[in-house]
Structures are given as structure tokens and as C-alpha cells.
Amino acid sequence: MNTWSQLFFQDSSSPLMEQLLFFHDHTMLIIMVITMLISYMLTSVLFNSFSFRFLLEGQSIEIIWTIMPAIILIFIALPSLHLLYLLDEIYSPSLTIKTIGHQWYWSYEYSDFNKIEFDSYMIPSNEMANQMFRLLEVDNNTVIPFNTQIRILITAADVLHSWAMPSMGIKADATPGRLNQSNLFSTRPGLFYGQCSEICGANHSFMPITLESISSLFFSKWIMKNL
């Protein structure tokens, strides 16, 4: 989860987030090379006193500074398009979870099991136990099995919300009357925290998301307990 002093992304807990981090590093490397090159050129122009008053045109340099940006954009666009298709593709999900945004809480339905549905409210500060995280803990965690392909359906009952889980690279709008879907795949057990990322009213910051990733065996026991 994020801390107050954290400057970079959260540690990845899904293959999609790993790809997003790789793409970020790839793009930042290109940007740093361009920045250093431009800085060197500006510095050399400022500190030299050479001039060529007969220079009217430079076809070679114009060809270079036209072709080079196009090549750089291709190096950025190709992995970006590949990642875009990876984010949209959902291959044979083993489990489907529907999440509905309300003012101001989330409700969940496990579509493969008729009787499993619950609301998830933030735990108030005066009811929190030790070692809990303020504004991030909920009374009912969303339980998922790790190493399992999961499809999550996202919508809203009243106004616009956004279901976001940064460590898994997911941020999908919850729109009333519309059903969005995303791919969820956790690579390790643990608790993962997110929040509504669309300003939805006075208590927008009080509707967190908590995913509890557990093994398939414990998930089966949880299912049987809640049926």
C-alpha cells in the first residue's frame, strides 16, 4: 500500500501491473535520454560564440529532426498498444465478481454463487483495532483466490464512481446504467488496498476497497461458509 513518503508505484501484485511498471521504466528511459540531449544542445548554444551568417537552410538536420521523433514515437507506441490489448483481454475467467458503487460504499456480488453478496463499508476510526489503517479498512473484505483468473464487473447505483486497485493496475469507471469489466489476477496472498478514484460527493474519500487474496483451498472454505 502507499505510505506518506512513497514517491513511486506500489509493488506489483499482478502480471498486468508488472507490465505497466516495465512500460513506465521504458518510457522514462527514453524521456531521460531526450532531456539530456536537449540540455547538452542548449548548453553548447549558450556558451559558444560561433555564428554562420551565410546559413540559409539545412536539409540534412531538418530530415534528422523529423525522422528521429517519429522513430522515438514508434518505440513508445508499440509496447503501449501491446499493453492496451493485454489490459482489455480476459481469458476464460474462473470467477466473476460484480462490484456496485453507492454513495458512499461498495457492494459485491459473486455471480457464480447465487447467495453470496454483501456491502463493504469503511470502518470508522473510533471502531478500529490496533494495526489497522485509517480510511482504508472495511467491515467486509472482498475475498479472492490468488493465481486465479477473475473477471470483475463494475457499475454504480447512483453517481459516477471509480473502482481502483493500484497494486494490481486496475482503475475502471463505475457508471450508472453501464457495466464495465476488467481483469483481476493476484500473484500472491495478502491484503491490498484501493479507493474510489472519482469525486462522487461529500464522502468520496470514505469508500475504500480492500481485497483479501487467499489460497484456493481457503477460498473454497470461505465460499462454503457463506453459502
Q: Which residue has the higher pLDDT, 107 or 45?
A: 107
**What's the whole-number mean pLDDT along residues 174-192?**
91
Q: Which three cell numbers stand for residue 134?
A: 485509517
**What's the whole-number mean pLDDT along residues 83-112?**
88
Q: Provide the 8-state DSSP code for 35.
A: H
Prediction pTM value: 0.82
Q: Which three cell numbers stand for residue 43?
A: 548548453
Q: Provide the 8-state DSSP code for 199.
A: -
- pLDDT digits 0-9 by tens, 130-155: 888 888 999 999 999 998 999 999 99
- The pLDDT score that the predictor gives to residue 1 is 66
Residue that has been written with the C-alpha cell 472482498 in this structure = 142
| pLDDT over 70 at 100, yes or no | yes
User: What are residue 173's DSSP bridge partners?
Assistant: 162
Q: Which three cell numbers stand for residue 6?
A: 512513497
CATH number of 15-88: 1.10.287.90
- pLDDT digits 0-9 by tens, 105-125: 999 999 888 778 899 999 998
**What's the whole-number mean pLDDT along residues 63-92?**
89
Q: Which of 49-53, 108-112, 163-167, 221-225 has the lowest mean pLDDT?
A: 49-53
| pLDDT over 80 at 202, yes or no | yes
127 — pLDDT class (breaks 50, 70, 90): confident
- The pLDDT score that the predictor gives to residue 10 is 83
**What's the whole-number mean pLDDT along residues 208-226?**
90
- pLDDT digits 0-9 by tens, 24-33: 999 999 999 9
Three-state DSSP at 177 gives: coil
What is the CATH T-level fold of the domain 95-226, as seen in this structure?
Immunoglobulin-like (2.60.40)
- The pLDDT score that the predictor gives to residue 73 is 93
Q: Provide the 8-state DSSP code for 108.
A: E
| pLDDT over 80 at 56, yes or no | no
| pLDDT over 70 at 184, yes or no | yes
Q: Omega into 4 within 30° of 0, i.e. cis?
A: no
| N-term to C-term CA, the chain | 31
| pLDDT over 80 at 16, yes or no | yes
- The pLDDT score that the predictor gives to residue 173 is 92
Cβ–Cβ under 8 Å, residues 102 and 158: yes
Residue ranges of domains in the chain: 15-88, 95-226
| pLDDT over 80 at 75, yes or no | yes
User: What are residue 150's DSSP bridge partners?
Assistant: 95, 184
Return d(Cα 115, Cα 156) in angstroms, integer: 20
